Structure 1
Amino acid sequence: WNPPPPNILKLNCDRAVSNLSKASCGGVLRDSDGTFIVAFAGLLGTCTVVQAELWAIYHGLRLIKDKFISSHIIIESDSAIAVKFLNEGCPQAHPCYALVNHIVRMLGDFYKIECIHTLREANQVADGFAKIGFSIPEGVLSFNVPPS
């Protein structure tokens, strides 16, 4: 994981999908010093890998918006398809079209947003929160301190 530049926050998002297509999501927001700000994990139900990754980004942005933060945010995801959809658009016939458009509208609520693809190895903390999501009975939980 590489920290963002000073005065910029980084949201790392990830998903976990079981062999039965049961999905969960998670993510973590940190500052340029690597300081933990907030994280989330949640159970999504049945969906595709790309849908789960997009839901992770959605829930991360929703949490940031709900927690008062509207500064410059870098979103990192290890899903090249999700990043491409957010940066370049999603075909109208694609099953993710409505979700992508909803997220893109949310992006306008922030001062500045960058959506960047990262390698899975650099997204391990978010992956850990996504795996925690499998143990949550329903909904999405936020963490104001890192779990032990």
Structure 2
Amino acid sequence: MNTPQQHASKFSTGQLNDVLEIEVDGAFSEQNALWGCLMGLKRAWDLGEKKVILRCDSSDAVQLILEEENSLHEDGSIIHEIKTMLKRSWQKAKSFQTIPAEIRGEEVSRRWITPEKDWVKVNSDGSSRGNPGRAGCGGVIRDHHGAWIVGYCRDVGWSTAFEAECWGAGEGIEVARKLGFQKIHLEIDSEELLYALKGKEIEGGKPPNCVRMMREAVERCKQFRFSLTRRSGNQCADAMAKLSLEKDLGRECQLFFEIPQEVVRVARDEEAQMIWRDTG
């Protein structure tokens, strides 16, 4: 199959730890998105990547890929080849006991979106100086108006970035629950953490303590949901996690009912870019 030149640059790749992330831009057309998915997967396969995440912003293209039968679609041959590459990537990943390639059906926002009415949103993150290294975690809890309820952070000691992210998520859920909130929406910017939340098998077998703690926190919630965002939509949480390393806060989780001075600028910038959900 010959690839039209105009479709050859519709995807980008980036490395997060040892996971190759492929982001496909579907803003121009459904066909561009399909070609971007195909070229991105071929690139990952050629590089011999063991961990691959394919993310496509075109929900229409995603739906076509997920449908069982596309032989009559005008781009049926492209879709068939994408599915073939996905199957190969899945089999390859399983043979290495790593994360399989996947198409994510939901669109991932680059900005912070208010949660639904009567829900609170916990944005969490982790920060590590080295991997492993001295690490901390933090986050912020806001209501459906986008108002700051509380920020939190703590030192987690010598940890990997993933472990710090787990602690950040678990601490945020627990803080929200102990404050009496029953509808908790957790938002993160880590694909690896997303897999842990979904209960996927952890590489190496038994999940570490931080993953078990996070899952137990989720189980204690009355109503819980989670979502993935870009890093640009998680700036406050990132700033709170870094604050844990800048101050000697100790291992106990510290709460900030007022926005810390070090985070004010980031909080205001994120608020200015906020997307308001229609809550009726």
TM-score by length of 2: 0.49
Q: 2:224 aligns with which of 102, 110, 113?
A: 113
Give the unaligned 5+ runs of structure 1: none
Within the alignment, does 1:82 sit opposite 2:169 as a pair? no
Alignment partner, residue 50 of structure 1: 162
Q: Which amino acid aligns with 2:158?
A: T
Tell me if structure 2 keeps the 8 A contact 1:78–1:118.
Answer: yes
Q: Considering only CA atoms, is the larger Rg found in Structure 1 or Structure 2?
A: 2
Q: CA deviation at 1:76?
A: 0.8
Change over 3 Å in CA distance of 1:99–1:44 after alignment to 2: closer
Q: Which runs of no fewer than 5 residues in structure 2 stay unpaired?
A: 1-111, 262-280
Equivalent-residue separation in structure 2 for 1:17 and 1:80 (angstroms): 17
The equivalent of 1:41 in structure 2 is 153
**Comparing 93-102 and 39-48, the one that deviates more:** 93-102
CA pair 92-5 structure 1, distance change in 2 beyond 3 A? same
**Greater share of strand residues, 1 or 2?**
1
Give the 3-state SS of the residue equivalent to 1:74 in structure 2.
Answer: strand
User: Residue 234 of structure 2: which of 123, 126, 132 is its match?
Assistant: 123
Q: Distance in 2 between matches of 1:116 and 1:35?
A: 19
Distance 1:118 1:99 in 2: 21
The structural deviation recorded for 1:31 is 0.8
Q: Report the CA distance between 1:42 and its aligned residue.
A: 1.2
CA RMSD of aligned residues (A): 1.8
- Cα pair distance change 1:111/1:49, threshold 3 Å: same
Q: What is the count of residue pairs matched by the alignment?
A: 147
Distance 1:143 1:27 in 2: 10
Alignment CA distance shift 1:79-1:94 (3 Å): farther
Give, in angstroms, the shift of residue 94 of structure 1.
Answer: 4.4
Greater relative CO (CA pairs within 8 A, separation 6+): 1
Aligned to 2:211: 100
Partners of 1:105 and 1:43 in 2: how far apart?
Answer: 20
Q: How many angstroms apart in 2 are the aligned matches of 1:142 and 1:29?
A: 11
TM-score by length of 1: 0.89
Q: CA deviation at 1:88?
A: 2.9
1:26 pairs with one of 135, 138, 157 = 138
Q: Distance in 2 between matches of 1:93 and 1:107?
A: 23
Matched residue, 1:14: 125
C-alpha change, 1:137 and 1:144, in structure 2 (3 Å) is closer
- Cα distance between partner residues in 1 of 2:218 and 2:257: 23
2:221 partner SS: coil
CA drift at 1:8: 1.2
Can you list the C-alpha shifts for 1:88-138, whole angstroms capped at 9, x where unaligned?
334373474433233222212212111222111000000111111011341
How far apart, CA to CA, are the structure 2 residues paired with 1:84 and 1:40?
24
User: What is the distance in 1 between the residues matched to 2:201 and 2:148?
Assistant: 32
2:256 corresponding residue in structure 1: 143
